[in-house]
Structure 1
C-alpha cells in the first residue's frame, strides 16, 4: 500500500467530516475506504450498548447481519477486542468461535469455505469511553499476516472514531436524554424486551412519529394488522416519553371476561362481587404517573367504553362497589387491528370514546410494505435462535433469502419469527447436511437454512411467484376461468408468463406508472418492481 493510495482513501473521509451527510451514507463511505486500504472480505462497525453489540454498518457481510444482536458473553472475540483497547489480530488457528462464520457474502463458495480464517479489529473511542468495534475478516488464512496491516488499522481507527462521532452526535444526545428520563431502564434485549427494528422508509417515518408524540402526553391509537408489532411501538412511545421512569401497565382487552373488565381496569372493594375477598387497585391506579396500554381496545363493550370516558376526560374513577373517587394521572395508549372508524359507523364503538383515543394515530406498516426490512428482521431472529440453541453459526442460503423477500407475509413479523424458529429445528433435524462440521461437537458449527426448511413444498416461493399469484384473485373482473391452461413447459413457466402479461398490461394502462400499477395489482411498489425485473419487464 503506497502513501498515494492511503491519501486517496483517507482525504475524502476527512472532507466528509464537514459535510451534512445521512448517517448511513457517511458510515458506508468509511467502510468502503477501509476495504481499499486493507484486503478484507468483510468489514463491520458495531455499536456497544451495555452487554450487547449492534451492527450499524457492514460491507461484505450478508444483509441479515444488520439485524443481529451479539451478546458479549457469547462472543469471546468481541470481548477480547474490547478488553485490548487497541487493534489486535486473531491467529488463523484461534480456537475462539468467530461471530461472522457463515455470514461473509460467499459469492458461490461451498459451505466448507464459509469459515472466517483471518480477522482483526479495534476499539473505537468516544469521549474517552469505548463506543464500539471496527472488525475486518477474511476467508483466506494469513490475509492480515503483514504487521503493517495492524499498524494501519490502528491509525485508521482515529479517523473512524471522528467519523462515528460526527454521524452519531444526534443519536447520542437522544440516548442521553432518554437515559436522564429513565436512569433505571436497561437495554431492551437485556431485560427480555424487544425493540423496533427497520430501515425501510415506512419504519423510518414511524420512528419519527413515535419520537414526536412521545414528547407529549397525548393519547395514542396504534393501528395495524395482526403481528406487526403494535406493542413494541407502544413500548417505544413510553420509553421515549417523560414517563419512562414510571410503570407501563398492559392489559389485553380481548382476553377479559365482560364481568371482570371493570374490576381489572378500575379495581374493586371487598364484597363488590362474589369472590372479591379484599380491596384491590385496578390497572389505571397501577399506572398512576405512567402509561396504560390497552391492547385490542376494539373488543371493549359499549358500557365499559362509557365508563372509560370519564377516566379519559378527568382522570376520576371509582372502584367497583365503592362511592369514593380516586384521581389518576395516566397516559393512555391503545392498539387494535380493527377498523374502529367502521365500528363507530356500525354502532359497535362510541364515537366520543373513539375520538378520545384517536388523538394521535400511529399506523404500523405491514411487513409486505417493509420489504427491505425482511432480511434484517430475519437476522435478529436467527441470532436469537443461535443463542438459545447454542449453535456456532446460523445463516440463510441464497434461495432462502430470495424466498423471504418474495413472500406476502400475511402474518407479518410474528409469522417471520415463527417461520425462522421452525426452519432452524428442521435444519438441525437433518444433521450436518448443508452445514459445516463442528470442532469436536455433535452439532454442526454452521447451520444453513434453505427455502425447503422455511416452507414445505416451497418451490413456488423459491421462484417468487407466491405473492403475485395470491394477490391475483382480488383483481377486478378476474375469475378462475380466466386463468390460462398450463403450458407444455410446466407450471412455473405458465405462471411466469401469466404474471408477465398481467404486469405489462397494468403498466400499459397506467402509462408506465409503477405506483399506479402497484395500486391496481394490490402490491407494494418495490415488490412490483422486483417482480418485473425478474420477469424481464421494462417500463
Structure 2
C-alpha cells in the first residue's frame, strides 16, 4: 500500500460517520498493512499518566485490549512517551518489549518481537498516548519507514482527536446538560474492561440514572463487581466531588450496627466515652454505598427506612434528629424478594431501595469480555511476579470462554493468579515467555451456572444430594443439615436450636438465610 493510499484511507475515515472503536481499529489495520509488520497498537495514557491502555490493536492476542501497561515497568513505552520524534528499538536492544509473546503472526508460538517503532501522540497540547509498531523481521523499520510514520503522525492524532470529540458529544447529549455529569461522563475510565453488548447496555443505564437522586439497587452474583459499578455511579453523579462512603453491612456487628450507621452521643452505651458521627454523616452531600444490604438486622432496617423517607438520622442516645443530604446506593447478591416473603427483609424498605434496580450481568453472559479481563489480570501478575511475559495458550482461551464462571470476575482473577504461580512452581523461569496451558487453569467445565439474585430460586440440596464440588459446598451442606436437625429436635424453636448449636440466635438466622433455609423474622 502506497503512502497516497494510506493518506486517502485515513482521510476518508475522518470524513464519514463511524463508531469510535471502528475508526481506531481501521487505523491500526491500515498501518499494519502499509508497514508490513506483525502488530500495531494504539495506547492511551490512563490513571494520571501511570498506565498505557490499548484502545485498538491489530496483530496482538485477544487479551491484549484488556491489559494495562505500567509505564514505569516498560522502559520502551516510557522512552517513546518522553520523545516527540520517532523512536526505534532494533533487534539487539536490551530493553524488554511489552508485546513479547503476544504477537500472533504465527498463532500458538511464543514469538519474540525483534524490531519496534513508536511515536508519542499529543491531543490539544497534552500527551495523549502512543502508537507502537512491532515487527518479527529484522530491518523492517528502516529510514524510509521512520520517515513515513513521521508524515502520518498528524493524521493519527486527528483520528484520536475526532474520536475524543465524538465521545464527549455523545456524553453531553446523554446528560442533557445536567450539572456535574457532562465532565464525568466524558472521562475515560480505565477500570471498566469489556466490549460486550451486555456491558455496553449496563454502562449506558448507569450513565442515565447516575445524575438523578434516585436510590439505586445493584443486583448481581458474587464477584460481578458491584462495588466497582457503585463507584462509577458516584463519579458520574453531581455528587462526585463529595465523599463516597462504603459500608459492608455483612461485616457490621449487630450490637454496633446502629452506632456505625447513625452515630452515637457520649454515654449512649457502655464504652461510648465521646460523641461519634456515623457513616451517614460522613457521607454528607455525597453517596452512601450499602453493600450486602440484605444482611442488615430487621430493627436497623426500620431506622434506615425512616432516614430514606425523611432525610433525617438520630444518633444513638440523642434526643433530636438531624437532617442529612445523602444518596443511597445499595447492593446485594441475594434475592430480596424472597427475603421479604420469608419475613427477613422489610417490604417497605425493599421498595424504597429498589426505586431503580440495575442487574449486573454475570461474566458468562459477557462473551469475549472474559479474555479482555484475563488480559488485565495477566499483566498484573506478570508485573507482580517479575516475569518477562505472561500469556494464554489457544486451548486456555477456549477453556476461559466455555467455563460458566460461578464466581465471576473475582474467580477469574484468582484462576489467573493461581495458574501463574503454578507455572513458576513447575520450573518456568522469570526470563521466559510463560504460556499458561489449559490444565494449569484447573477449570471444571461441568460446574453449573449460579442463579442470579431475584431469579427463581433452585431447590436447596439436602445432605443426601449429589456431593458438592468444593470445600465451601461441603461445609454448606453440613451446616444446613445441622440446623435442620437442631430445629427438628426443638420443635422449630430458633432460640433453643441456637443454644443447642452454641451459636448466637441472630447469627443463626443470618447463617440460615445465607444457606437458603427459610428462617423466621428474628429471634423469638
Q: Which bracket does the TM-score occupy, shorter chain normalised?
A: 0.7 to 0.9
Give the aligned partner of residue 133 of structure 2: 136
Pair 122,171 (structure 1): closer, same or farther in 2 beyond 3 Å: same
Q: Deviations over 1:93-119 (max 9, x none)?
A: 1111111111111524643xx111101
RMSD of Structure 2 on Structure 1 (CA): 2.5
Q: CA deviation at 1:80?
A: 0.9
Q: CA deviation at 1:404?
A: 0.6
1:356 matches 2:343: no
Give the aligned partner of residue 94 of structure 2: 95
Give 2:221's match in structure 1, choosing from 215, 220, 225. 225
- Structure 2 counterparts to residues 37-436 of structure 1, below 5 A: 37-49=34-46, 50-108=49-107, 110-111=109-110, 114-144=111-141, 146-172=142-168, 195-432=191-428
Give 1:454's match in structure 2, choosing from 414, 425, 441. 441
Q: CA deviation at 1:196?
A: 2.5
SS of 2:302's equivalent in the other structure is: helix
SS of 2:300's equivalent in the other structure is: helix
Q: Deviations over 1:114-142 (max 9, x none)?
A: 11110101122211222111110012222
Give the aligned partner of residue 22 of structure 2: 25
- TM-score normalized by the length of structure 2: 0.80
Give the aligned partner of residue 520 of structure 1: none
Give the aligned partner of residue 439 of structure 1: none
Q: CA deviation at 1:342?
A: 2.5
Pair 108,21 (structure 1): closer, same or farther in 2 beyond 3 Å: closer
Q: CA deviation at 1:257?
A: 2.2
Pair 137,292 (structure 1): closer, same or farther in 2 beyond 3 Å: same
> 1:69–1:380: 8 Å Cα contact kept in structure 2?
yes
- Over 4 Å off, 4+ runs: 172-175, 177-182, 186-189, 467-471
Q: CA deviation at 1:180?
A: 9.0
Pair 378,239 (structure 1): closer, same or farther in 2 beyond 3 Å: same
- TM-score normalized by the length of structure 1: 0.78
Q: Deviations over 1:366-405 (max 9, x none)?
A: 0000121000000111111111122211111111111111
SS of 2:63's equivalent in the other structure is: helix
> 2:181–2:236: 8 Å Cα contact kept in structure 1?
no
Pair 468,218 (structure 1): closer, same or farther in 2 beyond 3 Å: closer
After superposing the two structures, state which structure 1 stretch, 99-108 or 117-126, moved more: 99-108
> 1:223–1:361: 8 Å Cα contact kept in structure 2?
yes
Q: CA deviation at 1:347?
A: 2.4
Tell me, in whole angstroms, the C-alpha distance in 1 between the residues paired with 2:161 and 2:324.
43
In the alignment, structure 1 segments of 5+ residues that lack a partner are 190-194, 433-441, 476-539
SS of 1:280's equivalent in the other structure is: coil
Give 1:34's match in structure 2, choosing from 31, 41, 64. 31
Tell me, in whole angstroms, the C-alpha distance in 2 between the residues paired with 1:237 and 1:110.
42
